[in-house]
Amino acid sequence: MTPLITPADLADLAEVTVLDVRWKFGGPPDVDSYREGHVPGAVFCDLDADLAAAPGPAGRHPLPSAERFQEAMRRLGVSGSRTVVVYDGADSTAAARAWWALRHFGHPDVRVLDGGLRAWTAAGLPVSAGEETAPPGDFVARPGGMPVLDAEQALELASDGVLLDARAAERYRGEVEPIDPVAGHIPGAVSAPTGENVDPSGRFHRPDFLRERFNTLGAVPGVRVGAYCGSGVTAAHQVLALEVAGIPAALYVGSWSNWVADPSRPVATG
């Protein structure tokens, strides 16, 4: 089953929960854009509040507890027996975090609207303004549906497998670091900016294109693959792109913000 869905196919779904996960790096959540116009029936999902725990040594967007995630998803109308479609403005960066979190906590059918709201409106489909609520859902959160890495496992994977760094190349090289206190990357990690997963419209490239991209980076059959970024958001986009390509991958949720919280951990540049 593909993790992506087209606007036309979403419009044809009768039983579906739709989450609008528009979000800006550095916040605040993009609820104002949601109020201006969203997919009819969509409920706003706050990435910082609903898809992550409070920032700290575990990272800027650590995983919430199963209880907290379950409460948030039920409030947003999520049920385990109903398809969930998530979207953001265009490139699925924020939507991918929702897709990954729902999959990790055991939801069996989560899709990402390929191209986001931009693709929806480009298809001539209607939007609604204001805010919407959904009847409470019955989703039961059971962690373990998607593989995760801690810091030690990420370093090991960088040596024994392929660890993809999803950040911009200049952050990977350590030339700039606009958010975290230390610049650079996990030793042995491979630069793989998520911007190369999508075309200029924000839609994902074809599976064969993505498969070739990741194969070139070393993610070939029989090799374990993982991804990280600054705080586990764009790396979820990387895991989604890998799944589109048919390549399973683990997510280092704490990512660079967790890695540099311990000054004894090694840092590479260049």
CA nearest neighbour of 6 among 124, 121, 115: 115
CA–CA separation, 114 and 203 (whole Å): 5
Q: b/e for 52-79, b at 16 or more Cβ within 10 A? A: bbeeeebbbbbbbebeebbebbbebbbb
pLDDT by 10s per residue, the chain, length 270: 799 999 999 999 989 999 999 998 776 778 999 999 999 999 999 999 999 999 999 999 999 999 999 999 999 999 999 999 999 999 999 999 999 999 999 999 999 999 999 999 999 999 999 999 999 999 999 999 999 999 999 999 999 999 999 999 999 999 999 999 999 999 999 999 999 999 999 999 999 999 999 999 999 999 999 999 999 999 999 999 999 999 999 999 999 999 999 999 999 999
Whether 7 and 119 have beta carbons less than 8 Å apart is answered as yes
Catalytic positions are 229
Peptide bond before residue 135 is cis, with ω within 30 degrees of 0: no
Helix (H/G/I), strand (E/B), else coil: 171: helix
The predicted model scores a pTM of 0.96
**C-alpha dist (Å) from residue 127 to 21, 38, 121:** 15, 5, 8
Residue 178: CA atoms inside 13 Å, Cβ hemisphere, count? Answer: 5
Q: Helices H, strands E: what count in the chain?
A: 11, 10
Residue ranges and CATH numbers for the domains of the chain are 4-122 (3.40.250.10), 148-259 (3.40.250.10)
